[in-house]
Chain A
């Protein structure tokens, strides 16, 4: 693992000691394997209109054209046209599209990882409906294969492979849950052989946000559900999904799904985490080749379910709040109404940001950006948008439903020396259960 700089002065990290040509070939192989029909249609369709730039937080806050979303796909596009597109044989025959060079991949590493939070706002701005963020996620597969990933993300990848979680060794999981239960005075279930609900967690909940572990336990206990945490499948955050490490993505997905099936759960509850939803709710069946045999829902969906179903009663705040829509949950996941229902049940008057819901601005830390320290300056710049939104809303609370967003927003506020608390929807519900 070394940090290097390209001839044009762009910093990049590189893993392993393979020859450049091998890396390039590995990236190309991964690139070309990814092109199914939809990706190919999207690769054919760009009009070069630049509308996607207007949607991207990194372009908007820096004004640097290189952050135009479609530009971040250049190596991927080139691989497509040279090897997959309908005219690829002609391009190759006449040398009209050169092969992607290692220098290009090196230069693009920062654009693909540091300057894209996979938030998908560009997809909504594209007049052709090109799903740019999905393509960038696919481009990461090749970057990972080439060993051109930011070191911090690669570190998490290796940690996860060794520990089963980027935050904590699997062996410690049961203890953390039990300790937290004791600490907060909430009875917890770990490693029960059978249960209706299996709860999964995100890394932050094993470190900074441990209260979340008992918050959900409290609610499940309250409704008298049969539930459990499982050491065999607790980590829902999927660094493979973020890094482009497909093997790891599959492994992490199978772990939680297989475990849920093993304990006979009807529902797998995902933590307050954005990309966990993308990986488990929408992409899990990809590894099984069929619909997964367990219902996968996000914490927010679960909260809305119990609140709307009248299973729990909540104390009412009678205060105002703003809500940060996690991109993977709302824009890319379609869960827009659920958090709003829960906020309403809490008696919180929601003052929407001007751009909210599917049009909401990313916290700036999605897609691994928050974990990638190299991207900090860029992320803090992007944070300016969110800060302005929150200040304009001027509410008593500021709530979100994703741990990564919460960390990003908290870090951003700290860096900007801005005193703003970011609350968790789960925590608000758990803390305000009527007896």
Chain B
């Protein structure tokens, strides 16, 4: 594969027809809710795109995001796009290791100054000078800062990179933060999810490649095309919710009937992602379809929302002791007020005199 090849040429070499390519363009346009008129522009843009240099930084992460992208069900054009980009640095996927790997990163940065895209998975620990995660003696924080300096854009992949994710969960021992907190003014796309949907990543990259700019984002920096609606809004079990038909457990009548999982803790109503429409494993299923409520994995702090199986209306705080304390305090205040009133009934005039003085 040569660096100055266009994507169209590359795909043609792999036996992908022009027609199939256009089809892919319209697919991307449709999942990203772009107007039909943009299909051609998108296809043209993609076709003319040069190999894009990508530096993939993995910090406090579990590699699940990478797994999600690489373990695709069947080779598809979107996989080919991953093949097409010049993944110049990626721990898991690159053949070289050690100093050579770090060299590759620096080389790519120098060669594509101002043009390369930085993809980050994992959160960045910043507590205690960032010592809790380092690669080749360089803290994640430092490496991110160095790499970002000449980047064109940043893509935070997965919830850890987008929002801090599990490393940031209480009590967050490493002081993990989201990439967004460290990017300064660099354009940033968050593709949250644990792991994120591969199509969301492909779509965002395709958009970036063909239009050279960031797609429309929501207030959390996620492409609206994939994170514009809640799981609940598009869930095939929604009618059960509306009719008041719920599973009360995972093996009761309601569960077997495929009723809504709201009562067993589904976070679909407050989770913005495309699972209910794109689904997983090539459109086979998604968690709710398999009988488990949504965990809300694409949302900030999803790990600390009071438990996956506690229904959404459950208060987050522990109530018992606080309420007991309040009850005792209330009783004390009540008795105090009544005693003061009773004293007042006896000494009203005397106290009035005092008020006047």
A joins B in a complex: yes
Which A residues form the contact surface with B (CB < 8 A)? 25, 28-29, 32-33, 35, 83-89
| Other-chain contact of B341, A25, A28, A29, A88 (Cβ < 8 Å) | A88
Please report the C-alpha to C-alpha distance between residue A25 and residue B348 in the assembled complex, in whole angstroms. 9
Please report the C-alpha to C-alpha distance between residue A35 and residue B345 in the assembled complex, in whole angstroms. 8
Please report the C-alpha to C-alpha distance between residue A25 and residue B352 in the assembled complex, in whole angstroms. 8
Please report the C-alpha to C-alpha distance between residue A89 and residue B341 in the assembled complex, in whole angstroms. 9
Please report the C-alpha to C-alpha distance between residue A32 and residue B341 in the assembled complex, in whole angstroms. 9
B334 and A25 within 8 A (CB): no
B344 and A84 within 8 A (CB): yes
- Collect the chain B residues with CB atoms within 8 Å of residue A33's CB: 345, 348
B264 CB → nearest A CB, Å? 41
B345 and A86 within 8 A (CB): no
A23 CB → nearest B CB, Å? 13
| Other-chain contact of A35, B334, B341, B349, B352 (Cβ < 8 Å) | B341
A32 and B338 within 8 A (CB): no
B348 and A83 within 8 A (CB): yes
Inter-chain contact count A-B, CB under 8 Å? 35
- Collect the chain B residues with CB atoms within 8 Å of residue A32's CB: 341, 344-345, 348
Given contacts A28-B352, A32-B345, 14 further A-B contacts (CB under 8 A): A25-B348, A25-B349, A28-B348, A32-B348, A33-B345, A35-B345, A83-B344, A83-B348, A84-B344, A85-B341, A86-B334, A88-B341, A89-B337, A89-B340
Please report the C-alpha to C-alpha distance between residue A84 and residue B333 in the assembled complex, in whole angstroms. 13
What are the 5 A-B residue pairs with the smallest beta carbon separation, nearest first? Answer: A84-B341, A86-B337, A29-B348, A33-B345, A32-B348
| Residues 307-337 of chain B, each 1 if its beta carbon lies under 8 Å from chain A, else 0 | 0000000000000000000000000011001
Closest chain A residue to B348 by CB distance? A29
Closest chain B residue to A30 by CB distance? B348
Closest chain B residue to A24 by CB distance? B352
| Other-chain contact of B349, A29, A85, A86, A87 (Cβ < 8 Å) | A29
A83 and B349 within 8 A (CB): no
- Collect the chain B residues with CB atoms within 8 Å of residue A29's CB: 348-349, 352
Please report the C-alpha to C-alpha distance between residue A83 and residue B344 in the assembled complex, in whole angstroms. 7
A1 CB → nearest B CB, Å? 25
Q: Is the interface of A mostly helix, strand, loop or mixed?
A: helix
B337 and A83 within 8 A (CB): no
For this complex, 9 residue pairs linking A to B, each with C-beta atoms less than 8 Å apart, are A28-B348, A28-B352, A32-B341, A35-B345, A83-B348, A84-B344, A84-B345, A88-B337, A89-B337
A88 and B340 within 8 A (CB): yes
Chain B, range 75-112, C-beta contacts under 8 Å to A = none
- Collect the chain B residues with CB atoms within 8 Å of residue A35's CB: 341, 345
- Collect the chain B residues with CB atoms within 8 Å of residue A28's CB: 348, 352
| Residues 193-222 of chain B, each 1 if its beta carbon lies under 8 Å from chain A, else 0 | 000000000000000000000000000000
Chain B, range 250-267, C-beta contacts under 8 Å to A = none
- Collect the chain A residues with CB atoms within 8 Å of residue B352's CB: 25, 28-29
Please report the C-alpha to C-alpha distance between residue A29 and residue B353 in the assembled complex, in whole angstroms. 12
Chain B, range 141-193, C-beta contacts under 8 Å to A = none
B300 CB → nearest A CB, Å? 40
Please report the C-alpha to C-alpha distance between residue A378 and residue B337 in the assembled complex, in whole angstroms. 41
A79 CB → nearest B CB, Å? 10
Please report the C-alpha to C-alpha distance between residue A256 and residue B344 in the assembled complex, in whole angstroms. 34
- Collect the chain A residues with CB atoms within 8 Å of residue B337's CB: 85-89
Please report the C-alpha to C-alpha distance between residue A83 and residue B338 in the assembled complex, in whole angstroms. 10
- Collect the chain B residues with CB atoms within 8 Å of residue A83's CB: 341, 344, 348
A292 CB → nearest B CB, Å? 26
Please report the C-alpha to C-alpha distance between residue A209 and residue B164 in the assembled complex, in whole angstroms. 94
Closest chain A residue to B352 by CB distance? A25
Please report the C-alpha to C-alpha distance between residue A296 and residue B121 in the assembled complex, in whole angstroms. 92
B225 CB → nearest A CB, Å? 53
A71 CB → nearest B CB, Å? 24
A86 and B348 within 8 A (CB): no
B353 CB → nearest A CB, Å? 9
- Collect the chain A residues with CB atoms within 8 Å of residue B345's CB: 32-33, 35, 84
Please report the C-alpha to C-alpha distance between residue A32 and residue B348 in the assembled complex, in whole angstroms. 8
- Collect the chain A residues with CB atoms within 8 Å of residue B344's CB: 32, 83-84, 88
B326 CB → nearest A CB, Å? 15
A41 CB → nearest B CB, Å? 12
B355 CB → nearest A CB, Å? 9
Please report the C-alpha to C-alpha distance between residue A231 and residue B338 in the assembled complex, in whole angstroms. 45
Please report the C-alpha to C-alpha distance between residue A28 and residue B347 in the assembled complex, in whole angstroms. 12
Please report the C-alpha to C-alpha distance between residue A88 and residue B352 in the assembled complex, in whole angstroms. 14
Chain B, range 274-301, C-beta contacts under 8 Å to A = none
- Collect the chain B residues with CB atoms within 8 Å of residue A86's CB: 333-334, 337-338
Q: By CB atoms of chain A within 10 A, which of B337, B344, B352 has the most? A: B344
- Collect the chain B residues with CB atoms within 8 Å of residue A87's CB: 337
Closest chain B residue to A40 by CB distance? B341
Closest chain B residue to A28 by CB distance? B348
Closest chain B residue to A34 by CB distance? B345
Please report the C-alpha to C-alpha distance between residue A84 and residue B340 in the assembled complex, in whole angstroms. 8
- Collect the chain A residues with CB atoms within 8 Å of residue B340's CB: 88-89
Please report the C-alpha to C-alpha distance between residue A29 and residue B334 in the assembled complex, in whole angstroms. 22
B229 CB → nearest A CB, Å? 44
Please report the C-alpha to C-alpha distance between residue A85 and residue B349 in the assembled complex, in whole angstroms. 18
Closest chain A residue to B340 by CB distance? A89
Please report the C-alpha to C-alpha distance between residue A329 and residue B274 in the assembled complex, in whole angstroms. 76
B62 CB → nearest A CB, Å? 54
- Collect the chain A residues with CB atoms within 8 Å of residue B341's CB: 32, 35, 83-85, 88
Closest chain B residue to A36 by CB distance? B345
Closest chain A residue to B349 by CB distance? A29
- Collect the chain B residues with CB atoms within 8 Å of residue A84's CB: 341, 344-345
Please report the C-alpha to C-alpha distance between residue A88 and residue B336 in the assembled complex, in whole angstroms. 11
Please report the C-alpha to C-alpha distance between residue A4 and residue B205 in the assembled complex, in whole angstroms. 89
B350 CB → nearest A CB, Å? 10
Please report the C-alpha to C-alpha distance between residue A220 and residue B341 in the assembled complex, in whole angstroms. 51
- Collect the chain B residues with CB atoms within 8 Å of residue A25's CB: 348-349, 352
Please report the C-alpha to C-alpha distance between residue A88 and residue B351 in the assembled complex, in whole angstroms. 14
B146 CB → nearest A CB, Å? 58
Closest chain A residue to B351 by CB distance? A83
- Collect the chain B residues with CB atoms within 8 Å of residue A85's CB: 337, 341
- Collect the chain A residues with CB atoms within 8 Å of residue B333's CB: 86
A163 CB → nearest B CB, Å? 32
Closest chain B residue to A92 by CB distance? B355
Please report the C-alpha to C-alpha distance between residue A89 and residue B342 in the assembled complex, in whole angstroms. 12
B143 CB → nearest A CB, Å? 57
Please report the C-alpha to C-alpha distance between residue A118 and residue B248 in the assembled complex, in whole angstroms. 58
B335 CB → nearest A CB, Å? 10
B351 CB → nearest A CB, Å? 9
Please report the C-alpha to C-alpha distance between residue A84 and residue B349 in the assembled complex, in whole angstroms. 14
Please report the C-alpha to C-alpha distance between residue A28 and residue B351 in the assembled complex, in whole angstroms. 12
Please report the C-alpha to C-alpha distance between residue A200 and residue B340 in the assembled complex, in whole angstroms. 43
Closest chain A residue to B336 by CB distance? A89
Please report the C-alpha to C-alpha distance between residue A314 and residue B349 in the assembled complex, in whole angstroms. 59
Closest chain B residue to A84 by CB distance? B341
- Collect the chain A residues with CB atoms within 8 Å of residue B334's CB: 86
